[in-house]
Structure 1
């Protein structure tokens, strides 16, 4: 039996990581693509590519500065694409290795903020989308990251719209109230386990 790969995504501040933790607590292996992407940024073999594409301005003491890189890529779609071209193939390879190590499970979850934008949704059997009203998302991210409203809205503008994501998602979890969203995730877990 082939292990099913369920993509789990949602716009910034939607609560997708919280929902991923619910599945993890229920015993489902979860691959956090965004965490892996952050690690890849600091690999010695990646540094020359970053320098070539972004110059020395995004480095502090010889190490990439994520805040500086974010400021560049969220203001320039071509630079965002350049960063994605450096990071995403490596994340995809790492995920394939991880999946091999977890191929004895009925299903696993691949959590990624830009599952659709990166094209990696095509490698998933089904998609779970976590949604929340824009204003809730903006407030959550401002509190979590200490960023401005404008910075959050700029990030939202760089992601696919909820409508675009909804069209390609099989399961939707609405996160207005975290307790309700958690119980939706538990219900979905039971449904998937009984398939």
Structure 2
């Protein structure tokens, strides 16, 4: 990784954090928070946008009839069913959501412009081209059998749904090949935390 140059209205180092479903990305993001690194969670931003009164809820309800709950919030399970295996509908949804999430990300970066390191936690970082806004990318990974076992243990998850999600994500091997840093979360929590702490020290020149 080349040493990033300082830029106005933006932290000195922006680290993109990503990983396929079931790899332990959320747990890894929590480690950065634990060690005082601000994290912008793109999926949490989507949840806010989907809430009743959120910036995306009404537009999604109009674009995808039947996708809203009675309270006006987006029913994510129902919406997932509507766009499943429907590329045109998925593209339409992404065209609604991605600009709004990007705007939240810009606001986050401006808020922490004086901080030496921040993390952008983006599940589809490579798939959406968001890596171009990062100084480095950290990919969270695990062996395929560990990933599958973790995901299928989730309530309501099926083999078909898991395979459909994987089909929309860049293969893990390609993500690892494109990453600046990789962590294998199957090696245990203590190991993961030690690697995160070492990476923070490296990127902030404090170690």
Please give the TM-score of this superposition, normalised by the length of structure 1: 0.91
1:82 and 2:92 matched:
yes
Alignment match, 2:38: 29
Runs of 4+ in 1 over 6 A off after TM superposition: none
1:18 and 2:27 matched:
yes
CA contact (8 A) 1:138 1:153 kept: no
CA contact (8 A) 2:18 2:139 kept: yes
CA contact (8 A) 1:30 1:108 kept: yes
Q: Secondary structure of the equivalent of 2:165? A: helix
CA contact (8 A) 1:41 1:87 kept: no
Q: Mark the runs of 5 or more structure 1 residues left unpaired by the alignment.
A: none
1:185 and 2:185 matched:
no
CA contact (8 A) 1:8 1:128 kept: yes
The structural deviation recorded for 1:156 is 1.1
1:113 and 2:123 matched:
yes
Q: From 165, 174, 182, give the equivalent of 2:184.
A: 174
Alignment match, 2:3: none
1:137 and 2:147 matched:
yes
1:147 and 2:144 matched:
no
Number of aligned pairs?
Answer: 194
CA contact (8 A) 2:139 2:175 kept: yes
Describe the shift of the 1:127–1:58 C-alpha distance in structure 2 as closer, same or farther (beyond 3 A): same
Distance (Å, rounded) in 2 between the aligned partners of 1:63 and 1:21: 26
The structural deviation recorded for 1:107 is 1.1
Q: Secondary structure of the equivalent of 1:118? A: coil
Please give the TM-score of this superposition, normalised by the length of structure 2: 0.86
1:97 and 2:107 matched:
yes
Distance (Å, rounded) in 1 between the aligned partners of 2:113 and 2:91: 31
Q: Secondary structure of the equivalent of 1:64? A: coil
Deviation digits for residues 111-141 of structure 1 (CA, Å, limit 9, x no counterpart)? 0111111221211111000011222112212
Query: What CA RMSD, in Å, does the superposition of the two structures yield over aligned residues?
Result: 1.8
Q: Secondary structure of the equivalent of 1:113? A: coil
CA contact (8 A) 1:12 1:156 kept: yes
CA contact (8 A) 1:141 1:152 kept: yes
Distance (Å, rounded) in 2 between the aligned partners of 1:74 and 1:122: 28
CA contact (8 A) 2:49 2:57 kept: no
Q: Mark the runs of 5 or more structure 2 residues left unpaired by the alignment.
A: 1-5
Distance (Å, rounded) in 1 between the aligned partners of 2:202 and 2:164: 36
